[in-house]
Amino acid sequence: MRVAAVALAAVALAGCTSTKTGTGTESPQAPSSTRPTSTSVRPPSSTPATTTPATSSSASRTSPPLLPPAERIFSAMTLRQRVGQLLMVDCPTSGPTGATQQAITQYHVGSVILDGTSYAGSNEIAAVARQVQGLAPKGVPLLVSTDQEGGIVQRLQGPGFTRIPAATEQGTVAPSTLRRRTQDWAAELRRAGVTVDLAPVLDVVPAGFGANPPVGDLQREYGNTPAAVTSHGVAVVRGLAAAGVAATVKHFPGLGRVRGNTDVSGGVTDTVTTSGDAFLQPFRAAIDAGVPFVMMSTADYSHLDPGVPAAFSYRIVTGLLRSQLGFGGVVISDDIGNAAQVANYSPGERAVRFVAAGGDVVLTVVAGQAQEMTAALVNRARSDPAFRRLVNASALRVLRAKQALGLLH
């Protein structure tokens, strides 16, 4: 769970026709099936449409079908560029550091998280967003995200940003009211250049549970029952989508029944959650509502995959989230750059383990780790065809999310 760390239900805008040309030497390979995790992509044809008047021999000739922008851009990308789409790195709300700039321009990183609370207001954040977008390759903008939950977890404040109440207070109003308010809050984000909100929190902290450092102690829960969290969490997902901001539900499969915060403590373990647990209902409902992003917890879950952080668990990411709950969108990690829970793994191993488990976007609040993480992912993809297929599927999934947000023009 990132304290310091958005659904857009398939909002694809028409008229996107841009392409991106790869500059490396790797031969592009598209995913090999039509399933969400491995989608067949055909490279664009260079044959021009015929202008010959139709005759008996040419009447059946037609122009080759145009690929959607995501597929077209993906087909032109090198392996390194595809791997870059699998990373989200830190960008301070005050502006990109040298490490952030290098991650984008040299390692092709495709997403950033605006981190650190800013009181400068919307105009300043919009300027920062424009600055980082100016570093991205033409035609392939970044996903710009932040934590805008409410309460003490509201990274963007000041003029142009409404002060959002904590989730515990949001949970006291009718879901329809919360949806309308969220749409207004999300419109502020979109005007400032933010396209992904790393919210809402769908973890359920039972009444009387006691200390719960990552969620309950910080008033990040909408209620104390799966029903309450479901109704209000889905309202937030829909409100964000209505304003053109992608929601990220978190922290799957839940941090509401743990005693430690994975950001600052190791060995955090959930000893109760099962694959049929009622506390998974908020995530199931959000998936049914079309949420585009799900964030993985890094806690261990003794009844699901003992001793393996959820973000690194094939059983949890692919088995439970994708197969059992049917999620076909983008799976993003909680921070694995600076979290104590995963400190025993090298940065490169963290990235490889997450993607191998079925994840798509590696989130690190240490932008300087981009070099090691991308190198590890590229090397594994070059040596392991099955892993390369996972990389291809994830890169395409991220590009489709960008297309749905209207970013690919």
The DSSP secondary structure of 125-176, one letter per residue, reads HHHHHHHHHTTSPTT-PPEEEE-EEETTEE-B-STTS--PPPHHHHTTS-HH
Q: Is residue 229 included in any domain, yes or no?
A: yes
| Residues 184-208: tens digit of each pLDDT | 999 999 999 999 999 999 999 999 9
Q: Is residue 13 included in any domain, yes or no?
A: no
Q: Is residue 252 included in any domain, yes or no?
A: yes
Task: Tell me what percent of the residues of the chain surpass a pLDDT of 70.
Answer: 84
Q: What is the mean pLDDT of the chain?
A: 89
Per the structure, the count of domains in the chain is 1
Which residues, given as ranges, of the chain have pLDDT below 70?
A: 1-64
Tokens 């392939």 map to which residue?
Answer: 140
Q: Is residue 346 included in any domain, yes or no?
A: yes
Q: Is residue 258 included in any domain, yes or no?
A: yes
d(CA 285, CA 225): 14
Q: At what angle do helices 385-404 and 347-357 cross, to 10 degrees?
A: 80
pTM for this entry: 0.86
| Residues 336-356: tens digit of each pLDDT | 999 999 999 999 999 999 999
Domain at 311, CATH number: 3.20.20.300
Q: Is the dihedral of CA 258, 262, 265, 270 positive or negative?
A: positive
| Residues 102-156: tens digit of each pLDDT | 999 999 999 999 999 999 999 999 999 999 999 999 999 999 999 999 999 999 9
Q: What angle do CA 92, 252, 273 make, to 5 degrees?
A: 145
Q: Is residue 302 included in any domain, yes or no?
A: yes
Say which residues have a Cβ less than 8 Å from residue 300's Cβ, sequence separation at least 6. Answer: 267, 268, 269, 270, 306, 307, 308, 309, 310
Where does residue 228 rank: exposed (0-12), middle (13-18), buried (19+ CB within 10 A)? middle
Provide the domain limits for residue 256: 67-73+81-404
| Contact predicate 117/155, CB 8 Å | yes
Q: Is residue 309 included in any domain, yes or no?
A: yes
Q: Is residue 39 included in any domain, yes or no?
A: no
The predicted pLDDT at position 66 comes to: 87
Task: Supply φ then ψ for residue 66, to 5 degrees.
Answer: -80, 135
Distance between alpha carbon 375 and the CA centroid of its chain, in Å? Answer: 21
